[in-house]
Amino acid sequence: MSRQAVTIRHVAAEAGVSLQTVSRVINNEPNVRDAVRARVNAAVERLGYIPSIAARRLGGARSYLILALNDRDRTIEGWRLGEGNDWVDQMLYGGMLTCAQHGYRMIFELVDTHAEHVERAVLAALAALRPDGVVLTPPHSDNPAITRLLEERGVPFARIGSGETGAGFAIGMDEAAAGRAATEHLLALGHRRIGFVSGDPEYRLSVDRRDGYRQALAAGGVAADPALEQQGDFSFASGVIAAEALLDLPSPATAIVASSDQMTLAALHVAYHRGLRVPADLALVSFDDTPVVRFAMPPLTAVTQPIAAMASAAAELLIRASAGEAIDPEPRILPFALNVRASTVGG
């Protein structure tokens, strides 16, 4: 019999036990006599059986699935435009590998966080998949309708990109500290007219990064100028509008920190068309550090988010919780990095 043809039914028949008993053994669950466990394991070895998720689910309440929810509109828009943002790739890379190490699978679903019946969409996904836990990415991670629903249903969940206390496992980086680090880098280079382009205000991290920018200016003795703060929404188009506004000021910005790679690339685009040299005339610092910024001309200085590490931590915590382990509810804050490149220190 080939390995592909071997099913849990063959193992049960070989060992002379029920399907549920085989499932409990392969899941390493209690309440199985040692002699029975040994007999089942011997049958698995003889037949070369490779357990499926369906077989593992027979023995108990766990589904061995982790559900990751991403924002539908923003994800589809990014894919449609092909703008080179690998946030989703990094999230799946970290989450899927960790799940696989524990015999789990990660399922990726898109939900419109602005939908009138967002709870209905989430409930539909829960009913179809019965996941052992849910990973929420921004802005879902700060959407009270979603977090409240999961809490009421008793579904463990992790909130990536959220440092807030509350239900679920909060996993993020210190966004304010990252905003400070980016601004302090420019201050150390002598810049005093530093513009800041915020991301979508629906994302808490956008506010935190802007606050870090303000804190760095205050600590550096630089007076705040509201005209140097522009609102974006993470998109290239919003970055163009913001950069134009900052460079049209009577005393233009000599440096810009933008809250996404796309908005920073937009500022680079505007600088090129105005004949400005980067960084001699305009220095640029980005957030996210997706691959495209390393191939820009010049390569962009950027804050690197630990996206894969955050997704990995989220999956790990949910898998441990599903096994009944008591988990410390304190937020997990992972380190970021400021990668200095030619957009701030070039010739």
pLDDT mean across residues, the chain: 88
pLDDT value, residue 17:
84
| Rounded-to-integer distance, Cα 130 and Cα 42, Å | 31
pLDDT value, residue 309:
94
pLDDT value, residue 58:
54
Overall pTM surpassing 0.85 (yes/no): no
Domain 65-173+307-336 CATH superfamily: Response regulator (3.40.50.2300)
pLDDT value, residue 3:
47
pLDDT value, residue 61:
63
Stretch(es) of the chain classified as CATH 3.40.50.2300: 65-173+307-336, 175-305+338-345
| Rounded-to-integer distance, Cα 183 and Cα 209, Å | 10
pLDDT value, residue 20:
78
pLDDT value, residue 310:
94
6-10, 50-54, 207-211, 327-331: range with lowest mean pLDDT? 50-54
| Rounded-to-integer distance, Cα 138 and Cα 155, Å | 18
Residues in CB range of 260: below 8 A, 6 or more apart = 199, 232, 234, 235, 239, 286, 287, 288
| Rounded-to-integer distance, Cα 344 and Cα 337, Å | 16
pLDDT value, residue 2:
47
**Whether pLDDT at 342 is above 90:** yes
Overall average pLDDT of the 40-56 stretch: 72
Query: Residue written as tokens 């849990």?
Result: 8
pLDDT value, residue 116:
80
Domain 175-305+338-345 in CATH 3.40.50.2300: yes
- Tell me which architecture the domain covering 3-57 has in CATH: Orthogonal Bundle (1.10)
pLDDT value, residue 214:
98
Stretch(es) of the chain classified as CATH 1.10.260.40: 3-57
| Rounded-to-integer distance, Cα 261 and Cα 236, Å | 8
| Rounded-to-integer distance, Cα 177 and Cα 183, Å | 10
Per-residue pLDDT reduced to its tens digit, 23-44? 777 766 777 888 888 888 888 8
E strand or H helix at 338:
strand 337-339
Q: Residues in the chain, how many?
A: 347
Per-residue pLDDT reduced to its tens digit, 194-242? 999 999 988 889 999 999 999 999 999 999 999 999 999 999 999 999 9
